[in-house]
Amino acid sequence: MTAADLMQVYQREAEKQRLLVKKSDFTQTRLLFVVEALKDLLGNDGFINLLRAEGLATMPRALQARVSGDDHD
């Protein structure tokens, strides 16, 4: 393997890492949007009653922690 080959492999892997970071940032932004929307909705008694009526009164612990501000990231 030549130095040029190694450089090409390195550049390809670096580009993969940049793409992964970009996707991660996009996902983090979407999660923040969902959490903020849920905070607003959970402040609405009508929405809470609808969730209960549909049997959806609970949510995953990780999401609950984010909505309540208990996450420690």
pLDDT of residue 50: 95
| Domain hosting residue 35, numbered range | 3-68
Q: What is the tally of structural domains in the chain?
A: 1
Q: Please check whether residue 50 lies inside any domain of the structure.
A: yes
pLDDT of residue 73: 57
Tens of pLDDT along 49-67?
Answer: 999 999 998 989 988 999 9
Q: Please check whether residue 73 lies inside any domain of the structure.
A: no
DSSP class per residue in the chain: --HHHHHHHHHHHHHHHHHHHHHHHHHHHHHHHHHHHHHHHHT-HHHHHHHHHTT-----HHHHHHHHT----
Q: Which residues of the chain fall below pLDDT 70?
A: 71-73
